[in-house]
Homo-oligomer: A and B are copies of this chain.
Amino acid sequence: MKKLSPALSTTEHYIGIGELARESGCKPETVRYYERIGLLPSAPRNEGNQRRYTASAIRRLTFIRHARDFGFSVEAVRELLKMADYPAMPCEEVDTLAKHHLAEVEARIARLTAVRDELQRMINQCAGGNIGQCHIIDVLSDHRLCEHPGPHGGADVLR
């Protein structure tokens, strides 16, 4: 029988950080990072100072990963976690947060779509000669050759 530090009960089933990571679809480094920034509570340790987790940690981390997968920022996830902890509160704020995020996603799709169209246009018009005649380089050199007048999406349209 494994010896447990006083904080750990002998009846519950504990797993290590590796298994937690596997269960919830991320890496051990990320789990430690989430603990460091306070998204996850600091885990109890065994006698050898290793983190031990229960099913509730799996649930919390899965929630975090899923919300991140939806593109919610870490700060938004922090809010969502707080809200999820109070099931009796009205879900208005959750709704607002989700709608705000949806609007951001839609705006990004719009910008990316404009960029895509312009890219397609300039690729299609490249006849395939040398760089001096290349329409792609032309368009990049001169914004007036673009369909749309304003900036295309800001430099941060990707990444």
A interface residue numbers (CB < 8 A to B): 25, 59, 62-63, 65-71, 73, 80, 83-84, 86-92, 94-95, 98-99, 101-102, 104-106, 108-109, 112-113, 115-116, 118-120, 122-123, 126, 128-134, 136-137, 140-141, 143, 151-159
Q: Is the CB of B95 within 8 A of A130?
A: no
In the complex, chain B residues whose CB is within 8 Å of the CB of A95:
123, 126, 128, 134, 136
- Complex formed: what's the CA distance from A124 to B40 in Å? 29
| Pairs across A and B, CB under 8 Å, 19 listed | A66-B141, A69-B151, A69-B152, A70-B140, A70-B152, A73-B158, A83-B137, A87-B130, A90-B131, A91-B130, A91-B136, A91-B137, A92-B128, A94-B137, A98-B119, A99-B123, A102-B119, A105-B158, A156-B159
Residue of B nearest to A116 (CB): B105
Q: Is the CB of A108 within 8 A of B158?
A: yes
Q: Is the CB of A98 within 8 A of B71?
A: no
Q: A63-B141, A89-B130, A119-B105 are in contact. Are A136 and B98 (CB under 8 A)?
A: yes
- Complex formed: what's the CA distance from A112 to B25 in Å? 20
Select one of B70, B92, B131 contacting A115, CB under 8 A: B70
- Complex formed: what's the CA distance from A108 to B59 in Å? 28
